[in-house]
Amino acid sequence: MIKSNKIRVAVLYGGRSSEHEVSLLSATNVIQNLDRSRFEVVPIGIDKQGAWFLGEDISKLSNESGKLQLQQDSERMLFTPDLIGKQPALRHPSQFISHLKNSERLFDVVFPAIHGPLCEDGTVQGLLELADVPYVGCGVLASAVGMDKDVAKRLVKNAGIAVPPYLTYKRGEWDKHSLEICAAIDKALTYPLFVKPANTGSSIGVHKVKNTKELRPAVENAFLYDTKVLIEQGIDAIELEVSVLESLDYGSAPIVSVVGEIRPQNEHEYYSYAAKYLDDNGAALIIPAPISNAIEDNIRAMASTVFAALECEGMARVDLFLERDTHTVYFNELNTIPGFTQISMYPKLMNASGMNYADLLTHLIELAIDRHSRKSRIYREYAAEA
Ligand SMILES: Nc1ncnc2c1ncn2[C@@H]1O[C@H](COP(=O)(O)OP(=O)(O)O)[C@@H](O)[C@H]1O
Ligand SMILES: [Mg+2]
């Protein structure tokens, strides 16, 4: 690698989650748009087993149709989870050792363009904390909390924001008491309901349930994806999304974008996996959302409150429901590494609010470096006062 004064940004792509393919698109866009006058790109692919590979020549990506590929090649392997607990010498291919000569790192900061569990949920962030590397986006706490739809709702509720009425069950309780649980759900909530795993994304394992008969198979299916499942009151609402970005002026309020609407179409009853990925016209992104100024102000303030309540850093997309009849606003969920292609909602909302995609990437990297240097000044040991 040629040495220069540029900041070397490792873009992580792929990952162990079911959103692996979505990540390839997000990362491709990030790599294509990083400001090359300031940054060098080190692409690092993570395969579905969790091994990290140094990516190949990325010049191919300069054409529009280019998309990242995983370079699964043990010679270029940087990390694999099963290295932990084994003698490194037995596992490192010679090539790998040579990369680490002079204990020099291949990169200065990490941009995780990976989505979903084992990517966006604090696990990768924890690894990067241990490695003492600056990384873009939320830290361990907000990443983990933001991924868990139940814990996130509890904190948001605590901050005075409404959430749809819901019940939560763990796998063990369901296995033992499913009859009683179905009866309790029937009593507490009104159909339609939404059944969802606590920790997924991309609407994987999410079901709209219209009657008692559909309830059990939906819950069983959701338990395939997690050990905790939420059963929520369906809200007849328009779906709104807001991008929140931490300010570079540490301690200042975050930047909150204009509000966007996601409108499922083509007979998709909600923003399902099919509407998101299988149908090119499955949903319209409407920016700005057609809502009154008063509602918009309220929603932007709520997004800022959610960002703070969940201890977010860097960025997050806050998703809300505006109930059609009552105009009540409910928090739905928060995404700490939202879809990041140029046509994804997070960058589009920021763009509509005056920050273009390349500037957004630079801003996020600067935040990552600032946070790392701030945290590195924290005392790790007791220091007697003078
Ligand atoms: N309580 C609800 N009321 C109405 N629609 C819902 C509700 N929960 C989820 N949905 C629909 O399901 C979609 C996916 O659910 P969501 O909780 O956002 O999961 P994911 O993290 O997979 O995006 C939402 O975008 C919305 O269309
Ligand atoms: Mg969602």
The owner of tokens 């009866």 is 183
The domain boundary, picked from 233, 250, 265, lies at 233
Q: Are 298 and 291 in contact (CB under 8 A)?
A: no
pTM of the model: 0.93
156 and 287 in a common domain? yes
**Residue 281 within a domain:** yes
Q: List the CATH number of the domain containing 291.
A: 3.30.470.20
| Residue 386 lies inside a defined structural domain of this protein | no
CA separation, residue 109 to residues 63, 96, 129, 137 (Å): 25, 20, 12, 11
Whether 1 maps to a domain, the answer reads: no
CATH number of the domain enclosing 101: 3.40.50.20
Chain-centroid distance of CA 259 in Å reads 19
Return the SS3 of 134. coil
For 242, the token pair is: 């807001």
Q: Are residues 51 and 196 in the same domain?
A: no
Residues 12-34 pLDDT 10s: 999 988 888 889 989 999 999 99
Please answer whether residues 127 and 31 qualify as being in contact, where contact means their C-beta atoms are separated by less than 8 angstroms: no
Q: Give residue 344 CA to ligand 2 midpoint distance, Å.
A: 13
Regarding whether 49 and 93 lie in a shared domain, the answer is yes
Last residue of a domain, one of 233, 257, 274: 233
| Same domain flag for 199 and 288 | no
Residue nearest atom 9 in ligand 1 by C-alpha distance = 194
Q: Is residue 381 part of a domain?
A: no
**196 and 254, same domain (yes or no):** no
Q: Are residues 172 and 250 in the same domain?
A: no
Same domain, residue pair 285 and 364: yes
Best CA proximity match to 339, nearest among 254, 243, 224, 218: 243
Question: Into how many domains does the chain fold?
Answer: 3
Residue 107: CB atoms within 10 Å: 18
Among protein residues, the one whose CA lies closest to atom 16 of ligand 1: 203
Q: What is the mean pLDDT of each run of 10 residues along the chain (386 residues)?
A: 80 89 91 95 92 75 63 79 72 50 80 91 95 97 97 98 98 97 97 96 92 97 97 98 98 97 93 88 95 97 98 98 97 96 94 97 98 93 82
Using CB distances shorter than 6 Å, the residues near ligand 1 are 164, 194, 196, 200-203, 206, 232-235, 239, 270-271, 319, 332-333
Indicate the pairing of strand 109-112 with strand 7-14: parallel
Out of 176, 200, 233, a domain closes at 233
**In terms of domains, do 193 and 75 share one?**
no
Residue 29's domain comprises: 7-119
